[in-house]
Structure 1
């Protein structure tokens, strides 16, 4: 029996529940529970463990046996091999012609556009040279160097290259010139932890930094409010996934206060691509509703989204789209759910195959429909979903 299965079985017995009763209360199938307890499955999806933990009155991390997401595919490792080689090479002993901050900044702006548009294949081709040039910067160029490292860490996390992503984000944190710059690296690090299922660590780290950065709202700058608010959102995301709804609600309430104080969606200088404001807070509130198994609430919140001239980052918008698709699927509205997935795949074809929520939503559609369309089968192949 695996650790996860053993913990589920022990907790179920302590609660006085049969496998059927646990299934009825949690919404998880009896078959899944039986296979988990008998060791036929080493663990389960985070969504499944969350549902079981909620019924068993545990924190989700009490049941976690393995990280939430698998690592990168073989083709991703091959594509990004030059980037990984550049990031792990020894520092150059001598530099004949060091790059200039202005020159690196120009290339960085072009790379940030690729990142924002989820053009990871093109970004992987640009990054080795950009990282090499950024490594030669010193003095006034250190801030540019940190932004390059932060972007690289974000791209590696998006493509599930978690080991090298952590190395890079910690390097960016060590080189940060001030607290706001460091907060952007902490934001990426806590996101990386959440994607790996390290919810306790992510919550503790985001909370610590949010506490340290908490501004006096009446005197705070927009950048200070945004840094604080983004860390609070990370803490809330970790807490709600770890079955700590009260903690999550408090963090989200403070983040909403920061967004209200700013009054609009903003992009601040210390963040490479992230934005913060009322729309970002609302989009992540939709995600929280799904984690709490409230798809109807998620769709209602999604329909009331505030809009500003500055839009949330493409990653937040795309994840929000996955949340909407997931909510439709859970409510049995499979046509609308698949339509949303298709829209996201068309908009971000390089980002889409790396998304575990997309795979989970399609699995729900497959399980709920009697037959599949050719388009659904093609998407299942793209997402490597076993039918």
Structure 2
């Protein structure tokens, strides 16, 4: 964080006619937190959101350009990403960065390798993903160049779209923002070249996620709403499930950006539109253009819980997290979202439990995710925030489960 951020908070507070103590009380924070921030200290994104809500302004109004939270990296991670960086950001010369090889590419094999890479992403096997993606990207780039036109060229572009989709998602997940932007930009360009509007829309939806993680809430919401408007089906009753899923997810991206920016009216309207798409489908579907990410009544209900958590309504989260379409029985009938989506939902539940002082229950939620998706959990800043909050508020000795989760997340008390 920079001193400019502290200045923006101070300015907004003074415009609202509030003292530091009054702002802290309204936001549910300690006066020392507000004082530290205004003096140029560092706070979490969640804290900024609480301050903005108390000031009656958008979170983005408090922020300076760029992400307010530094990216956490390690040497092993940097080494794995380096080869992918070389492919996505090649040196510029007079020749093509990836000229075609003399041997004709085997598009069928490239398609199979792409499926393996996609499976690695959804199995949270990021090490395998990072190892395979660079060679795959080089090969598909060469294939696109080798087949300069015709059906083979279009097939090579379609394969590259899928490879770029996984590269963009993975790089966003591990907070390599510049590379993620490159991958998603190229995906959108390839999709437009093929006239595949839903693939382009799904790429833009992923770009919204990237902007969201950079705290570019206003841009993310505007972009998501715009693409949702563009791909709205003429008749919902006649639209394919895949079209509805892509359209619905665009609105869910708008929800995520708006609610984090305290634009609750925009979030509620976007959520209403997403629900209409989910109701028309009637079940959870794995959208082809979303490459394995599910959409349907259960997914929209999870986002509804996320909205409650963003508003700070922890009690509503716990009251509704396992009821209705989110109950086990309903999920057996309607379909279960992808594991990462469900894990994200359970992080909201863990956060709600921690907010209400249910320290051990919050820990057990994290421990269950750790058991099923350790690689995914390791990259979730929200999990670390939950445990850090627990460390601050816990008066008694830590339980063995708390120590286990804290050690996994590399946290010290």
Range of TM-score over shorter length:
over 0.9
1:291 has 2:298 as partner:
no
CA contact (8 A) 2:98 2:138 kept: no
Residue-by-residue CA offset, 1:289-314 (whole Å, 9 max, x unaligned) = 11000111112221120414642222
1:363-378 equivalences in 2 (<5 Å): 363-370=388-395, 371-378=397-404
Q: Which of 182, 189, 194 is the matching residue for 2:212?
A: 194
Report 1 or 2 for greater relative contact order, CA contacts < 8 Å, sequence distance ≥ 6: 1
For residues 372 and 315 of structure 2, the distance between their equivalents in structure 1, rounded to whole angstroms, comes to: 25
Q: Relative to 1, partners in 2 of residues 1:191 and 1:98: Cα closer, same or farther, differing over 3 Å?
A: farther
CA contact (8 A) 1:282 1:301 kept: no
For residues 109 and 69 of structure 2, the distance between their equivalents in structure 1, rounded to whole angstroms, comes to: 37
Deviation of the 1:97 alpha carbon = 2.3
Q: Which of 291, 297, 300 is the matching residue for 1:272?
A: 291
CA contact (8 A) 2:321 2:349 kept: yes
Superposed CA RMSD in Å reads 1.7
1:15-30 equivalences in 2 (<5 Å): 15-30=16-31
For residues 21 and 244 of structure 1, the distance between their equivalents in structure 2, rounded to whole angstroms, comes to: 23
Q: Equivalent residue for 1:94?
A: 100
CA contact (8 A) 2:208 2:224 kept: yes
Deviation of the 1:385 alpha carbon = 3.6
Deviation of the 1:48 alpha carbon = 0.6
Q: Equivalent residue for 2:366?
A: 341
Residue-by-residue CA offset, 1:54-86 (whole Å, 9 max, x unaligned) = 111110001123515432512311122222223
CA contact (8 A) 2:286 2:295 kept: yes
CA contact (8 A) 2:340 2:376 kept: no
CA contact (8 A) 1:69 1:195 kept: no
CA contact (8 A) 2:209 2:220 kept: yes
For residues 274 and 3 of structure 1, the distance between their equivalents in structure 2, rounded to whole angstroms, comes to: 38
For residues 367 and 2 of structure 1, the distance between their equivalents in structure 2, rounded to whole angstroms, comes to: 25
Q: Equivalent residue for 1:104?
A: 110
Stretch of structure 1 that moved more, 146-155 or 339-348: 339-348
Q: Equivalent residue for 1:243?
A: 262
Which 4+ residue blocks in structure 1 deviate beyond 6 angstroms? none
For residues 104 and 279 of structure 1, the distance between their equivalents in structure 2, rounded to whole angstroms, comes to: 34
1:1-387 equivalences in 2 (<5 Å): 2-39=3-40, 41=41, 43-65=42-64, 66-74=66-74, 75-89=76-90, 91-135=97-141, 136-137=143-144, 138-176=153-191, 177=194, 178-215=196-233, 216-304=235-323, 305=326, 306-307=330-331, 308=333, 310-370=335-395, 371-385=397-411, 387=413
Query: Any gaps of 5 or more consecutive residues in structure 2?
Result: 92-96, 145-152
CA contact (8 A) 2:286 2:292 kept: yes
Deviation of the 1:153 alpha carbon = 0.7
Deviation of the 1:4 alpha carbon = 2.0
Deviation of the 1:342 alpha carbon = 1.1
CA contact (8 A) 1:121 1:350 kept: no
Residue-by-residue CA offset, 1:212-253 (whole Å, 9 max, x unaligned) = 111121222212211110000000100000000000000000
Scaled by the length of structure 1, what TM-score is found? Answer: 0.95
For residues 63 and 90 of structure 2, the distance between their equivalents in structure 1, rounded to whole angstroms, comes to: 35
Query: Any gaps of 5 or more consecutive residues in structure 1?
Result: none
Aligned residue-pair number:
385
CA contact (8 A) 2:360 2:402 kept: no
Deviation of the 1:282 alpha carbon = 0.8
Scaled by the length of structure 2, what TM-score is found? Answer: 0.89
For residues 264 and 68 of structure 1, the distance between their equivalents in structure 2, rounded to whole angstroms, comes to: 38
